[in-house]
Amino acid sequence: MENQDKIDEGIWLAVQQRVGYADAEMKLFRKHPYSHKILRTKAITDVLRTNIIFEVVQARNCNVGHKAGDRFYFNGEGYMITRKCPDKICPFLMPFMSRMMWLVQERLYEGLDPKPTFPFGHCDDVGIECGGMGQVLLEVKYTYDPV
């Protein structure tokens, strides 16, 4: 690891306090190369400045009522900014958003454009043609603007 990527002790302490690691758990966390990778200054900066948006681009017969233009906001750390989201959120959209957040975060940690090559996905409802109710198509987007 290059000297410029040396992680300040204050960062380690902040992580320990935020997550609630006991000292023994913190030792394990610090030993893992992944921990060093995600806590590099550039990685932290990219994660903290990025907002992930899942936008509904098409909705057919959604039981919850999602419609094109609805947006679900997450920050780069991975948590949903609920005050910016619709009042009702279908749980069948969550698996796609969860899988995509792993991919987006991995891309951020690698210093890549956070938008995946294939940024579209849909809810788990199979649609009326297959005995379901409807279906919602989402696109992953991002911004560096404060949300």
How many domains does the chain divide into? 2
Domain membership of residue 44 (yes or no) is: no
Sign of CA dihedral 52, 145, 108, 117: positive
- The reply to whether 93 and 134 lie within a common domain is yes
Same domain? 33 vs 60: no
Do 86 and 26 share a structural domain? Answer: no
**Percent of the chain as helix, strand, coil, to the nearest 5:** 45, 20, 40
- 46-58 pLDDT, tens per residue? 888 999 999 999 9
| Residues 60, 14 share a domain | no
Pair 12, 76 in one domain = no
Q: What domain range is 96 assigned to?
A: 51-143
pLDDT in tens, 78-109: 999 999 999 999 999 999 999 999 999 999 99
Q: What percent of the chain has pLDDT over 70?
A: 95
Query: Whole-model pTM?
Result: 0.86
DSSP string, 29-78: HHHSHHHHHHTSHHHHHHHHH-EEEEEEEEEES-SS---TT-EEEEETTS
Q: Would you say residue 46 lies in a domain?
A: no
Identify whether 132 is part of a domain: yes
Q: How far apart are alpha carbons 6 and 71 in whole angstroms?
A: 37
Task: Please give the angle made by the CA atoms of 102, 107 and 109, to the nearest 5 degrees.
Answer: 95
